[in-house]
């Protein structure tokens, strides 16, 4: 039975072995990678990615990455392809076949069928001299010297290499297309990731109350305003513009210092020049301002005029943090 040290040793050796194999991929990149990338970039069709076994699993991940970064892609299982799914491939589609050996029976049946249809084919294989490598238009070389498996059998290092080459292809295409974070948001509208990319301050502040008082508002009325609007803050406004801010913390500090506040007004306890943000700014930018300044509320402006409040809790609720 392995002890703790031997377990960690095995894990570290696996990571080191795969890491070295990945770094070696750089030396295997050549004009075929460039040409394959340009082929996909200039194609009017989609990218059809196929494989079998563990390579099929890697293919589905590469498909997902391409789709989310602006390159339409479809997964086609190599075994299903020779039993009817070849109909997935359209005239202008580019096919990527993934196979470590490049000599599996399914690949040997599939490759001629793709070639007969005159679709361009890219091989992602660890054996350039294989059947797949010899018949592909371009070869992305994923050769690895050894699997991380101690028996050198289970696909480990080889599938990691395939995945990394798929990422390299996707990122290169992303950059060629000038794909921006705004484009990314279109494909990821759900969840926290999407919200960070498209949610604006207005989307949050518009559903909040809009606490405000004037310079001469009594402290009693300031307390009522903050309590009723339930944001722990109120803006101090003059001619619709922000001139100050009062938080519930300001009120507590005032009460600890004075016994009689009946004659005090908002201007006596407010903080001037509070942090603020435009309503069309991204919500993630508001989060950064709050974090940098150690505050919980941020006043919102529209064209220089007071427009509302965004609270830290709002951003947490939306999954921005």
Cα–Cα distance, 67 to 56 (Å, whole number): 17
Number of residues in the chain = 321
Bridge partner list, 311: 297
Output the six-digit token pair for 12: 């570290």
Q: How far apart are CA 265 and CA 213, in angstroms?
A: 10
State the Cα–Cα distance between residues 56 and 126, nearest whole angstrom: 15
Q: How far apart are CA 166 and CA 36, in angstroms?
A: 12
Q: How far apart are CA 10 and CA 158, in angstroms?
A: 18
Which three-class secondary structure state does DSSP give residue 272?
strand
**Would you tell me the crossing angle of helices 54-68 and 157-176 to the nearest 10 degrees?**
20
Find, among 77, 105, 82, 75, the residue nearest to 166 by Cα. Answer: 75
What the block records as the tokens of 208 is: 């909040």
* Cβ–Cβ under 8 Å, residues 101 and 125: yes
CA 165 to each of CA 41, 55, 147, 149, 199: distance values in angstroms, whole numbers, following the listed order? 16, 13, 17, 21, 33
Torsion of CA 214, 216, 221, 225, to 10 degrees: 10
Quick one: residue 271, left, alpha or beta (phi over 0 = left, psi -120 to 50 = alpha)? beta
Q: Is 313 within any annotated ligand binding site?
A: no
Binding residues, by number, are 77
Binding residues for Zn(2+), by number, are 77
């Amino acid at each position: 039975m392995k002890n703790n040290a031997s377990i960690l040793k095995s894990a570290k050796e696996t990571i080191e072995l795969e890491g070295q194999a990945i770094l070696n991929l750089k030396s295997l990149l050549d004009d075929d990678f460039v040409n394959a990338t340009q082929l996909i970039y200039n194609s009017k069709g989609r990218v059809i990615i196929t494989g079998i076994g563990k390579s099929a699993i890697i293919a589905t991940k590469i498909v997902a990455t391409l789709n989310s970064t602006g390159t339409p892609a479809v997964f086609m299982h190599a075994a299903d392809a020779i039993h009817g799914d070849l109909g997935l491939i359209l005239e202008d589609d580019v096919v990527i076949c993934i196979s470590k050996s490049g000599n599996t029976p399914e690949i040997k049946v599939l490759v001629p069928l793709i070639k007969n249809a005159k679709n361009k084919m890219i091989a992602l294989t660890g054996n350039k001299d294989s059947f797949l490598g010899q018949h592909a238009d371009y070869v992305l070389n994923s050769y690895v010297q050894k699997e991380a498996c101690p028996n050198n059998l289970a696909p480990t290092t080889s599938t990691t290499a395939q995945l990394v080459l798929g990422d390299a292809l996707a990122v290169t295409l992303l950059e060629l297309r000038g794909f921006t974070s705004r484009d990314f948001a279109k494909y990821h509208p759900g969840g926290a990731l999407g919200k960070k990319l498209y949610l604006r301050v207005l989307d949050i502040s518009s559903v909040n109350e809009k606490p405000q008082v004037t310079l001469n508002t009594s402290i009693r009325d300031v307390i009522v305003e903050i309590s009723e609007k339930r944001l722990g803050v109120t803006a101090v406004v003059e001619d619709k513009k922000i001139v100050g801010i009062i938080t519930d913390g300001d009120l507590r500090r005032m009460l600890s210092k004075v016994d009689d506040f009946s004659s005090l007004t908002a201007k006596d306890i407010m903080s001037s020049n509070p942090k603020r943000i435009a309503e069309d700014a991204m919500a993630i930018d508001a989060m950064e301002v709050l974090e940098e300044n150690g505050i919980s509320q941020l006043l919102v402006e529209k064209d220089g005029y007071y427009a509302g409040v965004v609270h830290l809790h709002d951003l947490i609720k939306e999954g921005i943090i």
